[in-house]
Structure 1
Amino acid sequence: MSSTDERRFEVLRAIVTDYVATQEPIGSKALVERHHLGVSSATVRNDMAVLEAEGYITQPHTSSGRVPTDKGYRLFVDRISEVKPISQVERRAILSFLDSGVDLDDVLRRSVQLLAQLTRQVAVIQYPVLSSSAVRHLEVVALSPSRLLLVVITDTGRVEQRMVELGADLGDNDIARLRDMFSAALNGQRLEVASHAVAELANQAPEDLRQPFIRVATVLVETLVERSADRLVLGGTSNLTRAAADFAPMAGAMGSVLEALEEQVVVLKLLAATQNSGTVTVQIGEETREENLRGTAVVSTGYGASGTVFGGLGVLGPTRMDYPGTIASVAAVARYVGEVLADR
């Protein structure tokens, strides 16, 4: 990049930084006063004219300063060379807060609560994807001689409970036989593999247990297959009210953003853009490919442990956001959520 291009990028960086902080259009005089750009006001004005012609900034009103466009934010984000790391104190506080969760649901609720507080945006986290999980334990509890409670616990901490009507009374020994056979087929298996193993096991059912065996197998297969409902946890939706002015130019304004958040499939699609933990993805404006979200930015990543991604998490807010700070917070929370769930 030439020295002229580099100088213009510094002007853009200054405009983005000031606009995020003030929400006011930025003029050349303010840039010269606030930033040590090392050039005259006339040069800054010329650089701003070029940036505007190239689509990186725009003038919202006559005789006003300039604001970044989605293209300008994209260049700014792409040129972020260093993300400010969180401090040791912040790391310990995050880990302690998440590790205090009593179960998976509580850990996920704490995650979005924390992320919303750190970024002052809407935070969202996906429940661990069943297909990426493995069965840690199968518990079979006899509620009565003809009714069982199946409890499937995954290595991501997810707990699925199902009732089974056996259609006949079974003794303790027969129930133990059922438990042992299914546990042997399931424990340690990825859920996709486990569902096939259960289906195959049903074909080998002992004749004296065939009817209850098939009923248990049917319920287990339904439990192990990925479900679309109850997959997301949101937090900090009220933070959108702070950004009402940012959404005003959009058709439908903030209401359209809230409608999009209610459609879980929309949010899941945005989170799916990040397939690897440790890699933070930033989607700005039209890059979300959602009409209702064209005034927003989504910063997301995957969370997991030992190279396995359990699901996605991130934040959604106006394009006018603190990208370096948001990226750092999303990466940190994702890292510690994965660690906490892996240790359970």
Structure 2
Amino acid sequence: MLTSRQANILKIIVEEYTKTAQPVGSKTIMEADLIDASSATIRNDCALLEKEGFLEKEHASSGRIPSTKGYRYYVDNLMHSKNIDDIKNRIELLFSNRNMTINDILDQTGQILSEMTNLTTVVVGPNFQEERLKKLELLPISDKQTLIIFVLSNGHVENKLFTIDDNISIEDLQISIELFNTRLENTKLNELSAKFEVIRPILEQQVQHHEYILKQFANALTSIIKPSYSTHGMQYMLQNPEYNNPERIKQIIQFIENVSPFNFFKKVQNGKSNAVSIQIGNEIQLDNGNDDVALLSTTYKVDNVQEGGIALVGPKRLEYDKVHEILEWLANKIRETYQE
């Protein structure tokens, strides 16, 4: 067990190294508000922390940097809540847009997270392909726009904004929706495109511009069941000095291409909902032996049924407190917005 002073020294080194990517010397530690000790005392504590495996040296005369064990102790015992209002505000705007699907929201959320953390975000969206269509509803907004509401068998609702062509009337859309509700009820989402082709001759007899309407509905359907795995921000993460050589870049790209936040999370979740998993260095057990990687992930549920996952990947030198706070808030935000 670390003493209070040793814990504070470790905390200073982790946070200073995270900001600067430079080894931290005793002078920097001595100037910190948390420490009231002589340079000799600080050097002795640093030597003990290094002996116990919490710190490392790049070479004999350098300052210290945190080890995987040091980061783990920091994550488990020393980090505190961070102010993430700037990120929250940007993501809140996405959730307030009723014209966006959950996949659209998560896709743009991934971009925001990467931009504001310099990490790569991996998003696994909820899988609705096996869900069935319960009904469609029409909600006119103006002469040129209407909202089409897709109600799924699990109770989930997707809203899509339709722009009405000059040759299309609200009446044409209403006729189309009545036909779709009659013919498509209880159809799996991934089978709807084929069913549209069966309906085409019937719709052609009742609606003049049936092709335009079918195209609009097909586009809306695609956005609901589009592939739900995406990565964001590789260009931001590669700005970190840890990935300044081709072999490291190759290793991290291979890892990200194969990572599944959901699978990684399942190993450590132990039944806890909306928890955040933090894996550091060799805890991830990479095949290529790269120890300088960290993975923070969480899962979420939509309508208490459909599960997805979000992960942020980067070097061990990252703001664990900030990223942990973001993921925890985001999982709760999704649950509150899309709970059954």
TM-score between both structures, scaled by the size of structure 2: 0.67
**Structure 1 residues 255-313: Cα deviation after superposition (integer angstroms, max 9, x where no partner):** 111012222x5555324444644311110011112234532111111222575562111
For 1:334, the equivalent position in structure 2 comes to 331
- CA drift of 1:241 comes to 1.6
For 2:65, the equivalent position in structure 1 comes to 67
CA distance in 2, matches of 1:5, 1:176: 68
8 A contact 1:13–1:76 mirrored in 2: yes
**Structure 1 residues 171-200: Cα deviation after superposition (integer angstroms, max 9, x where no partner):** xxxx988756x47xx99xxxxxxxxxxxxx
User: Is the aligned partner of 1:84 residue 2:63?
Assistant: no
Corresponding letter in the other structure for 1:321: L
1:94 to 91, 95, 102: 91
User: Is the aligned partner of 1:117 residue 2:111?
Assistant: no
Compared CA separation, residues 156 and 176, structure 1 to 2 (3 A) = closer
Compared CA separation, residues 231 and 102, structure 1 to 2 (3 A) = closer
For 1:294, the equivalent position in structure 2 comes to 291
- CA drift of 1:63 comes to 0.7
User: Is the aligned partner of 1:310 residue 2:304?
Assistant: no
Range with greater deviation from structure 2 (318-327 or 268-277): 268-277
- CA drift of 1:233 comes to 1.4
| Unmatched tracts of structure 1, length 5 or more | 140-150, 160-174, 188-226
| Unmatched tracts of structure 2, length 5 or more | 137-149, 160-179, 190-224
Compared CA separation, residues 280 and 156, structure 1 to 2 (3 A) = farther
Percent of counterpart pairs with the same letter? 26
For 2:255, the equivalent position in structure 1 comes to 260
Corresponding letter in the other structure for 1:7: R
**Structure 1 residues 94-143: Cα deviation after superposition (integer angstroms, max 9, x where no partner):** 22223326224322211211221232211111121459x8656267xxxx
- CA drift of 1:71 comes to 0.6
**Secondary structure class of the residue paired with 1:11:** helix
**Structure 1 residues 26-75: Cα deviation after superposition (integer angstroms, max 9, x where no partner):** 11122102344111111110000000001110110121101000110000
Range with greater deviation from structure 2 (77-86 or 109-118): 77-86
**Secondary structure class of the residue paired with 2:29:** helix
CA distance in 1, matches of 2:234, 2:334: 21
Corresponding letter in the other structure for 1:6: S
**Structure 1 residues 140-179: Cα deviation after superposition (integer angstroms, max 9, x where no partner):** xxxxxxxxxxx994555689xxxxxxxxxxxxxxx98875
Compared CA separation, residues 33 and 92, structure 1 to 2 (3 A) = closer
CA RMSD of aligned residues (A): 3.6
User: Is the aligned partner of 1:58 residue 2:53?
Assistant: no
For 2:320, the equivalent position in structure 1 comes to 323
Range with greater deviation from structure 2 (31-40 or 92-101): 92-101
CA distance in 1, matches of 2:284, 2:131: 32
8 A contact 1:94–1:336 mirrored in 2: no
Corresponding letter in the other structure for 1:285: G
Compared CA separation, residues 248 and 117, structure 1 to 2 (3 A) = closer
Corresponding letter in the other structure for 1:318: P
8 A contact 1:298–1:314 mirrored in 2: yes
Corresponding letter in the other structure for 2:297: S
**Secondary structure class of the residue paired with 1:291:** coil
Could you list the structure 1 runs, at least 4 aligned residues long, displaced by more than 6 angstroms after superposition. 175-178
8 A contact 2:123–2:309 mirrored in 1: yes
Compared CA separation, residues 129 and 158, structure 1 to 2 (3 A) = farther
For 2:12, the equivalent position in structure 1 comes to 14
- CA drift of 1:335 comes to 2.6
